[in-house]
Structure 1
Amino acid sequence: MSKIIGGREAVPHSHPYIAYLWINTTEKTKKKCGGFLVHEDFVLTAAHCWRRSITVILGARDIDEQEMTQQVIPIRKAIPHPYFKRKSFNDIMLLQLEKKAKLNAEVSLLKLPSGHSQVTPGMVCSLAGWGCIDQNISTSKLHEVQLEIQKDKECLSHFKRPYDSTTKICVGNPKEKKYGLQGDSGSPLVSKNVAQGIVSYGKMEGTPPNIYTRISSFLCWIKTTMKLFKLQGQD
């Protein structure tokens, strides 16, 4: 998904965990994604954002400006989930940074959920990203939107692809014109300062509901993978 529709410009650095993924691609269309810092040297994002060359930008408000708060860090390793299938299953990826981010007021970690933590229909969560703010109107400034969790049946009836409620979250009220799209892929769905979901996919026109990866289902993989690659980096 690459737009935030129906949102507003975010207060500068009110989402200090957010990461902009600068993706070098040979494709005609520019590829961009979001992500979020979960450890000093790891960013979590969507697996469908994978490309051979990715640079992470932290601490940004306006991505077109060279701000003093920005930390630009290449990635050492992109680690998509081993059972990822294009935009359908296990759409989650860790990016190991070449060096640790410097944590401060503009750059900080976002908490992962506990294993029993769940979002339920009717809950309102936040999403931030640098996607379009209206159809075909792009922005370089970080925007945010509030989105409502939906019942699983909304996504079961909305999509032809298989929908597994144990690994996915149905997000966005169909009656409201508020949603995220492609440039926001990989950005976190946040509830009470905890990451609960990752923007994954939706309809081409972007109308809600949309589907997010359920982070709590992948905690074991996230923690095991970070530990493994941190140890390898010490060799």
Structure 2
Amino acid sequence: MSIFWFITTLLLLHFCTPGVGVVHSIVNGKVSIPHSHPYMVYIRDTQTHSACGGFLVREDFVMTAAHCKKDNLRVYLGVDDTNRLPEGIEAVAIPHPDFANKQGHDDIMLLKLKTIATLNKNVKTIGLPKTKGEAIPSNCMAMGWGWKEYTHTSPSNVLREVNLTLIQNCDTSDLICTEGESGPSQGDFGGPLICGNVPHGIGSYYINKGATGIMMYSKISHYLPWIHEIMNVHELWKSKLDAFNISDIRVCMIVKMSTP
């Protein structure tokens, strides 16, 4: 047997062995049309360069996974190609208070933007589920800039997406899941699972199971009371007032004083 066929045989054995080579990634997806998901947010730590996904839920709030919390996070809006990033926005991380780095528990976080997002055709918000018991359509989509190969670090510089189907018997009070060899990967966690044009899940973690895998998502509707509590504390008008430059106030005073 030639060395070529020997190596080929070893590779086939490796990839066909159950539970081996089935690394969580958007492998079987496709490249998204540029800016077709304007709510998508690229999140990166400026020191370690580790990345996560997220999505804009209000002009001043991004939603993502709590395990994506880092010390030097920057949020990038309106991104298509990560090789051409816009200026990043600093954010204050607000993870769920019960999150303790345990898989499947309270892996949700809000990022309060220090600079309010300017909405345009490439930057838009996406609405959340309306009620805690809201029914979730089974046909969904995940997207992100994460790994696109099974066997090694291979982040995509452009946004990719994949169609997925919910597993009904996996649904719990705070988790939903999809099954297969496709789905979110390293770099995609924190991104949304869109079902019926609504984000119902947040990519959290992956479980190998034989030749396939199960991807777990934090169920957003379960956390609506906490989400609304945090966002109501930080009302948007307060953020806009904070962003109002002191120089603008001085200009207003000068104009008023000079008016007869």
**SS at 1:21's partner residue?**
strand
Match of 2:175 in 1: 168
**Counterpart of 2:174 in structure 1: which amino acid?**
T
Q: Using a 3 Å threshold, how does the CA distance of structure 1 residues 23 and 112 change in structure 2: closer, same or farther?
A: same
Q: CA deviation at 1:2?
A: 7.2
Query: 2:83 aligned to 30, 43, 64, which one?
Result: 64
Q: Deviations over 1:177-202 (max 9, x none)?
A: 32211211100001222110000001
- 1:93-172 to 2 correspondences below 5 Å: 93-115=109-131, 116-119=133-136, 123-135=138-150, 136=152, 137-153=154-170, 165-172=172-179
Match of 2:187 in 1: 183
Q: Using a 3 Å threshold, how does the CA distance of structure 1 residues 10 and 128 change in structure 2: closer, same or farther?
A: same
Give the structure with higher Rg (CA).
2
Match of 2:258 in 1: none
Match of 1:11 in 2: 33
Identity %: 38
Residues in 2 aligned to 1:179 and 1:165: alpha-carbon distance in whole angstroms: 19
Which stretch of the first structure deviates more once superposed, 222-231 or 105-114? 222-231
**SS at 1:221's partner residue?**
helix
1:24 aligns with 2:46: yes
Structure 2 unaligned segments of length 5 or more: list them: 1-22, 243-260
Residues in 2 aligned to 1:2 and 1:100: alpha-carbon distance in whole angstroms: 33
TM-score (norm 2): 0.75
Residues in 2 aligned to 1:18 and 1:31: alpha-carbon distance in whole angstroms: 17
Q: CA deviation at 1:204?
A: 6.6
Contact 2:104 2:175 in 1 (8 A): no
Match of 2:89 in 1: 73
Contact 2:94 2:111 in 1 (8 A): yes
Q: CA deviation at 1:229?
A: 3.0
**SS at 2:221's partner residue?**
helix
Contact 2:139 2:165 in 1 (8 A): yes
Query: 2:97 aligned to 82, 92, 95, which one?
Result: 82
Q: CA deviation at 1:24?
A: 3.0
Contact 2:24 2:213 in 1 (8 A): no
**Counterpart of 1:227 in structure 2: which amino acid?**
N
Residues in 2 aligned to 1:185 and 1:201: alpha-carbon distance in whole angstroms: 7
Q: Deviations over 1:173-232 (max 9, x none)?
A: x3xx32211211100001222110000001379942210000001111111101213487
1:221 aligns with 2:221: no
Residues in 1 aligned to 2:99 and 2:127: alpha-carbon distance in whole angstroms: 23
1:201 aligns with 2:205: yes
Residues in 2 aligned to 1:59 and 1:3: alpha-carbon distance in whole angstroms: 22
**Counterpart of 1:140 in structure 2: which amino acid?**
N
Residues in 2 aligned to 1:83 and 1:35: alpha-carbon distance in whole angstroms: 20
Q: Using a 3 Å threshold, how does the CA distance of structure 1 residues 126 and 71 change in structure 2: closer, same or farther?
A: farther
Query: 1:42 aligned to 47, 50, 61, which one?
Result: 61
Residues in 2 aligned to 1:210 and 1:37: alpha-carbon distance in whole angstroms: 22
Q: Using a 3 Å threshold, how does the CA distance of structure 1 residues 17 and 2 change in structure 2: closer, same or farther?
A: farther
Residues in 2 aligned to 1:25 and 1:230: alpha-carbon distance in whole angstroms: 31
Residues in 2 aligned to 1:53 and 1:142: alpha-carbon distance in whole angstroms: 23
User: Comparing both structures, which one devotes a greater share of its residues to helix?
Assistant: 2
Q: CA deviation at 1:85?
A: 2.3
Residues in 2 aligned to 1:54 and 1:100: alpha-carbon distance in whole angstroms: 16
Contact 2:95 2:110 in 1 (8 A): yes
Q: Using a 3 Å threshold, how does the CA distance of structure 1 residues 126 and 19 change in structure 2: closer, same or farther?
A: same
**SS at 1:220's partner residue?**
helix
Query: 1:52 aligned to 71, 76, 88, which one?
Result: 71
